[in-house]
A and B are shown apart, each in its own frame.
Chain A
């Protein structure tokens, strides 16, 4: 945690606190999870991003008014059989982005399943965002925005249609999540005192693990 203190000094924001959050991306294969992250973290876009095997790990820092939010991003593989790995990554996550492809109804259905699973399995306070990716392909649209919007409202999700290709709403969705994440001292107990992992509610995560997913 010494490094974290160091970051604080480097930023030079005397009043600013650093919050570190674990964020996981879920969604059907080839909906653009990795592309979203790549756009957000590096500002790049590859037409053909290598398919993710297992999971990828990236980090990005956002500045919010007087605080700094550090995202620890776990970008998971989308193929169905890789979903057995997902609990490893969403366990203990404070935020999740469930991505679907607006040109493919199936991916939206899969997204809904993911939301359900997160609501049941992940930590109760998890902030879930629904991202309808590939909005640049709106003419091939298969999932109506309203439909998704309604679903998001019903389930209390953040919702945005994004495009990793055009960078539309990419930073925004992360920013929204950062804003919505609790920044009370309680939830980020480690942030102030300098002990433990900031933003990670260990007790909750342990409860969840005991309820059943792959324990590791």
Chain B
């Protein structure tokens, strides 16, 4: 700090240093460099006082440690200074620092710089925070000068500066006053100040001062020397300074004035300032003169003293030493005097303070007294007011009490009486109403009963009506057909007429049969009553509402803990009945209500797949809605198929089944009819209505799908369906389950699908319940739950459970089977895990269905605890196992083939693909595609394609990485669409919903290739590559037709077509042209001739196509013939099958006039034959 100050004095503090008095050049230079305003500032200050104030300022800053306690925290910092140059306002960053010694705020461009840009005397400044600008800016304003606007980022900094500057200003100003006082105190004061040794700077100053006297060796002495010469000298110095500075400034002012008018105002103001200064200086001068006078008086006194002292000296001859000591004493004296003065000042101050305080105290006391008085007065008023309030309240109370008491008594009595009256009246009314309610309730009950009865009747009648309607329709159709036939064929075909008449007769008798009334079995009149009136005869009590025997149902459970299971079930019932009866009842009610609501909403609309329906189905379908809901669920699944097959498909199948005597499945169906649901009264004996329908449904199905034929297990499915649905719908249910819900090959020859599912189940078990899986593994237990999968839980599961499963199964599909199979195991997992004998476990699992008593819990496990349960995983697992199982089954088959076959070992059971072909030809497409060899090929192809389609299906599922949304996937899954087939329009090959919908729209109008069609497409394309030529001819069939009646008679009712006849003729012809009886070996480019190995079909006319085709020795044939006539074709150009050499197309038989041998026109029967053969076969 000292260094700083020093540098200050050297460089800038031109007013302070007396050195500059003696070096006017330097001073002038400094002034030249400085700005005018600055010099104004400087000039406005009383320079002599500054010398003094300097000491005080430094000492005061050292006192004010709160503001700047350490050198580092000296008031300094950066501000942005607002400068206006040519009307442009811009802020400049400047380093501001406060000079303690001068009491000025100085600023530089940078902290390290020596030359300040400007400085501001804070004593003259006013500070204000500018409200217009940012918070952190504040203004230092000095009178008659433009304000200095400073800005900083931090408001607190600005405030700090503000405070400190204020403080400092206050101090400086105060000190200044003091100094002025001290100055006027007299010359002693001057000395005293100079001689205070505490501040080095003062010392330095004095030093300079002394050096200016040019008497360094006697510096101290000169100080102490008698001041006769000194004061005037010094005064003259001041005067000189002042006058010079004034002169300089004024001179400068004049020159500036001549420079231009723009600065006139500035100069004027500076003139004013200067005149002010002049006045001040004159005042000062006067004061100095007075001081001089005083000093002169003093001087006189001291001169006198000196004289006296000299006299004393002379008289007393005092030595220099004495003088010296005297002088010292004098010095001490002045010192003590100054101290005394100081303390006097202090005392003065203190007394003033104490007086002020005393005054304040008196004021406070007065105030206190005043306040006390005030409080007293207030208390008094409060007291009086409260008293008043109390009085008022009391008075009011008394008044009201007196008035009311008398009034109320009377009123109350009146009111009471009237109330009593009204109460009586209400009571009476209540009684009446209660009675009314009871009566109405009774009426309602009666009416409800009546309504229910009527509704039931209505249902029955409705069903009956529908049935009769359909019968009528079918009858009318049959009649129409026969009419048409008779019209067409006229008298030519009397046999056909007869047969059609017969068929009508049989139809009529069948339709008239009361039992064939096609309503669901559970609707039979007997059931309904029982379900409602539980008090009916005891015989009926043996059956539940679905006709299941209650006696037998528990016979299944042969284990010892039958009682335990029973008791558990009863306990549960008890729990339900007792503990949570209201809750259960409410749940039941809610469930019922939801269904009622759903059915009500549905109205006569078609059922749509929805989440609501799914959730609802999982809660189970109420018995009364099962018929309706199941029918609709089935309809969703096979709507398309049904449309394709036509409305009368089932009726046609029925008539066909009546005609067809050779149904390979019939034997097994017959065996199983009574073994389907032996404990259900609808299926208990051969005459039960259920049995007849069951036979019909199963037979029709075996005709509908010869590939499946009949498989044990299907009888249960059909029977359960029959309980809830009419015969035809039961049939469609069977179709839906086998062809739509279950994966392919589930019921076919070797139950491939069912086999695969056993493995899948096992794997799923290991995933979902690893400990149970391990447990079963440990005990070598193979889960073979075929019966559950093949009968959809109808086997070995109580009916109430499997009906619940069916509710969901029909909607959600075959995944449900896994869910429930696993749920059963999970339900009993603890029990199974506690068993350690394979035998016991096997036994337990075998009857696990009957041990399960809580259906809701089972469903909960199936649908909640087993999640996540993805169809994708099931499909993947199926794919994984299919190949393996196929291989194993093939191996087994091959082993079995090597076993000796015993005679009469009829393969009637296994469906023959040829049967399939034949039936398809007859029933479905009416397209004639008959040729032994091709059929064989087709058989192979089909077999391979079935395999292929499976694998591709599975592959499709697995490889299905086509990018699309889950919603689209769902739709695709619902509609069985391979996403890979859908035309993509989305970005990055993404399938959009629109794409799928478009595809669906197209699919509606398109029918996919059947297996045969696909095979044909392939082979025919191939064969068009073969070079061939065609030959067409006409043949008369008169002779053949002549012998036809005879043949038909011999056929004894078997439908005889022309086809076998042609076949026979053709094969006979081949006897003459053996070369045509050959095939091409493409690889070796040669013909394989079969020479005379021509089949001679015995009794061809007696064999159906089927039978002809089934002759093993016909395989490996060489000629294909198309009967295009059966579809009304006259000409056809057939396409050669690969490896064959000839193909023949046979057209329709036409009746035309022809010439006979005698050139007479007679009625002739002509067919067109078109023959294609390979060009240039090397026929000899």
- How close is B707's CB to chain A, nearest CB, in angstroms? 12
Scan A23-66; emit 1 where CB is below 8 A from any B CB, else 0.
00000011000000000011010111111111111110000000
Task: Spot the interface stretch: B779-787, B806-814, B1089-1097.
Answer: B779-787
A87 touches B892 (CB 8 A): yes
B678 touches A46 (CB 8 A): yes
Task: Spot the interface stretch: A116-124, A127-135, A165-173.
Answer: A116-124
Is the CB of A109 closer than 8 A to any CB of chain B? yes
Is the CB of A106 closer than 8 A to any CB of chain B? yes
Q: How large is the interface on B (under 10, 10 to 19, 20 to 34, 35 or more residues)?
A: 35 or more
Is the CB of B491 closer than 8 A to any CB of chain A? no
Which residues of chain B are within 8 angstroms of A84 by Cβ–Cβ distance? Answer: 750-751, 755, 889, 892
Given the known inter-chain contacts A54-B787, A81-B711, A81-B909, please indicate yes or no for A105 contacting B885, CB distance below 8 A: no
Is the CB of A72 closer than 8 A to any CB of chain B? yes
A54 touches B785 (CB 8 A): yes
- 18 inter-chain pairs at a CB distance below 8 angstroms, sorted by A residue, are A1-B837, A3-B836, A30-B671, A30-B675, A44-B555, A48-B684, A50-B678, A51-B712, A52-B787, A55-B786, A58-B843, A109-B904, A109-B905, A113-B901, A120-B899, A214-B889, A214-B892, A216-B782
A117 touches B711 (CB 8 A): no
CA of A117 to CA of B898, assembled, Å: 10
CA of A78 to CA of B1153, assembled, Å: 61
Which residues of chain B are within 8 angstroms of A106 by Cβ–Cβ distance? Answer: 904-906
Scan A6-32; emit 1 where CB is below 8 A from any B CB, else 0.
000000000000001000000001100
CA of A87 to CA of B755, assembled, Å: 12
Interface residues of A (CB under 8 A from B): 1-4, 20, 29-30, 41-42, 44, 46-59, 70, 72, 77, 79-85, 87-89, 105-106, 109-110, 112-113, 116-117, 120-121, 197, 212-216
Which residues of chain A are within 8 angstroms of B678 by Cβ–Cβ distance? Answer: 46-50
CA of A149 to CA of B900, assembled, Å: 19
- How close is A151's CB to chain B, nearest CB, in angstroms? 10
CA of A146 to CA of B891, assembled, Å: 35
Which residues of chain A are within 8 angstroms of B837 by Cβ–Cβ distance? Answer: 1, 3-4
Is the CB of B733 closer than 8 A to any CB of chain A? no
Which residues of chain B are within 8 angstroms of A48 by Cβ–Cβ distance? Answer: 674-675, 678, 684
CA of A85 to CA of B910, assembled, Å: 15
Is the CB of B176 closer than 8 A to any CB of chain A? no
Given the known inter-chain contacts A113-B902, A120-B899, please indicate yes or no for A49 contacting B675, CB distance below 8 A: yes
A121 touches B759 (CB 8 A): no
Considering only residues 1087-1113 of chain B, those with a C-beta below 8 Å from chain A are none
Which residues of chain B are within 8 angstroms of A110 by Cβ–Cβ distance? Answer: 905
| Residue with the greatest number of chain B CB neighbours at <10 A, chosen from A41, A44, A50, A85 | A50
Is the CB of B5 closer than 8 A to any CB of chain A? no
Given the known inter-chain contacts A79-B712, A81-B711, please indicate yes or no for A214 contacting B782, CB distance below 8 A: no
A51 touches B895 (CB 8 A): no
Is the CB of B749 closer than 8 A to any CB of chain A? yes
Chain A, residue nearest B905 (CB) = A109
- How close is A201's CB to chain B, nearest CB, in angstroms? 13
CA of A65 to CA of B747, assembled, Å: 47
B902 touches A109 (CB 8 A): yes
Is the CB of B888 closer than 8 A to any CB of chain A? yes
Chain B, residue nearest A70 (CB) = B839
B888 touches A214 (CB 8 A): yes
- How close is A16's CB to chain B, nearest CB, in angstroms? 18
- How close is A189's CB to chain B, nearest CB, in angstroms? 15
Is the CB of B1137 closer than 8 A to any CB of chain A? no
Given the known inter-chain contacts A57-B843, A105-B904, A216-B759, please indicate yes or no for A81 contacting B910, CB distance below 8 A: yes
Give me the 8 closest cross-chain CB pairs, A-B, nearest first. Answer: A54-B786, A53-B787, A80-B909, A109-B902, A48-B678, A84-B750, A30-B671, A51-B675
Which residues of chain A are within 8 angstroms of B672 by Cβ–Cβ distance? Answer: 29-30, 51
Given the known inter-chain contacts A20-B839, A51-B672, A120-B895, please indicate yes or no for A212 contacting B905, CB distance below 8 A: no
CA of A120 to CA of B843, assembled, Å: 29
- How close is A13's CB to chain B, nearest CB, in angstroms? 19
A50 touches B676 (CB 8 A): yes
Is the CB of B790 closer than 8 A to any CB of chain A? yes
Residue from the list A50, A88, A213 in contact with B782, Cβ < 8 A: A88
A85 touches B784 (CB 8 A): yes
CA of A199 to CA of B755, assembled, Å: 28
A50 touches B558 (CB 8 A): no
Residue from the list B684, B716, B910 in contact with A80, Cβ < 8 A: B910
Which residues of chain B are within 8 angstroms of A58 by Cβ–Cβ distance? Answer: 843, 846
Residue from the list A41, A53, A89, A214 in contact with B712, Cβ < 8 A: A53
B795 touches A213 (CB 8 A): no
Residue from the list B668, B784, B795, B836 in contact with A88, Cβ < 8 A: B784
B791 touches A216 (CB 8 A): no
Chain A, residue nearest B894 (CB) = A212
CA of A81 to CA of B714, assembled, Å: 13
Residue from the list A47, A79, A113, A197 in contact with B905, Cβ < 8 A: A113
Residue from the list A53, A105, A212 in contact with B790, Cβ < 8 A: A53
Chain A, residue nearest B715 (CB) = A51
A213 touches B910 (CB 8 A): no
CA of A48 to CA of B889, assembled, Å: 32
CA of A87 to CA of B780, assembled, Å: 15
* Sample of 6 further A-B pairs with CB below 8 A, known A57-B843, A212-B888: A48-B684, A51-B675, A54-B790, A213-B891, A215-B888, A216-B784
| Residue with the greatest number of chain A CB neighbours at <10 A, chosen from B675, B837, B846 | B675
Which residues of chain A are within 8 angstroms of B786 by Cβ–Cβ distance? Answer: 53-55, 77, 85
A56 touches B846 (CB 8 A): yes
- How close is A136's CB to chain B, nearest CB, in angstroms? 18
CA of A114 to CA of B987, assembled, Å: 61
Is the CB of B1083 closer than 8 A to any CB of chain A? no
Is the CB of B963 closer than 8 A to any CB of chain A? no
Given the known inter-chain contacts A58-B843, A79-B711, please indicate yes or no for A197 contacting B891, CB distance below 8 A: no
Is the CB of B14 closer than 8 A to any CB of chain A? no
Which residues of chain A are within 8 angstroms of B713 by Cβ–Cβ distance? Answer: 53
B712 touches A82 (CB 8 A): yes
Chain A, residue nearest B686 (CB) = A48
Chain A, residue nearest B679 (CB) = A50
A72 touches B839 (CB 8 A): yes
Chain B, residue nearest A202 (CB) = B780
Chain B, residue nearest A216 (CB) = B782
- How close is A49's CB to chain B, nearest CB, in angstroms? 6
Is the CB of B838 closer than 8 A to any CB of chain A? yes
- How close is A76's CB to chain B, nearest CB, in angstroms? 10
Residue from the list A41, A47, A51, A77 in contact with B558, Cβ < 8 A: A41
Residue from the list A53, A79, A113 in contact with B899, Cβ < 8 A: A113
Which residues of chain A are within 8 angstroms of B909 by Cβ–Cβ distance? Answer: 79-81
| Residue with the greatest number of chain B CB neighbours at <10 A, chosen from A81, A83, A85, A110 | A81
Which residues of chain B are within 8 angstroms of A216 by Cβ–Cβ distance? Answer: 758-759, 762, 782, 784
- How close is A68's CB to chain B, nearest CB, in angstroms? 13
B711 touches A212 (CB 8 A): no
Residue from the list B749, B836, B892, B899 in contact with A81, Cβ < 8 A: B749
Scan B532-573; emit 1 where CB is below 8 A from any A CB, else 0.
000000000000000000000001001000000000000000
Given the known inter-chain contacts A212-B888, A212-B891, please indicate yes or no for A53 contacting B782, CB distance below 8 A: no
Which residues of chain B are within 8 angstroms of A214 by Cβ–Cβ distance? Answer: 755, 885, 888-889, 892
Which residues of chain A are within 8 angstroms of B759 by Cβ–Cβ distance? Answer: 216
| Residue with the greatest number of chain A CB neighbours at <10 A, chosen from B678, B711, B762, B892 | B892
- How close is A88's CB to chain B, nearest CB, in angstroms? 6
Which residues of chain B are within 8 angstroms of A87 by Cβ–Cβ distance? Answer: 892
Chain B, residue nearest A108 (CB) = B902
- How close is B1080's CB to chain A, nearest CB, in angstroms? 38
- How close is B41's CB to chain A, nearest CB, in angstroms? 113
Scan B769-807; emit 1 where CB is below 8 A from any A CB, else 0.
000000000001010111100110001000000000000
Which residues of chain A are within 8 angstroms of B891 by Cβ–Cβ distance? Answer: 212-213
B838 touches A197 (CB 8 A): yes
Is the CB of B1052 closer than 8 A to any CB of chain A? no
Is the CB of B1035 closer than 8 A to any CB of chain A? no
Is the CB of B896 closer than 8 A to any CB of chain A? yes
Is the CB of B840 closer than 8 A to any CB of chain A? yes
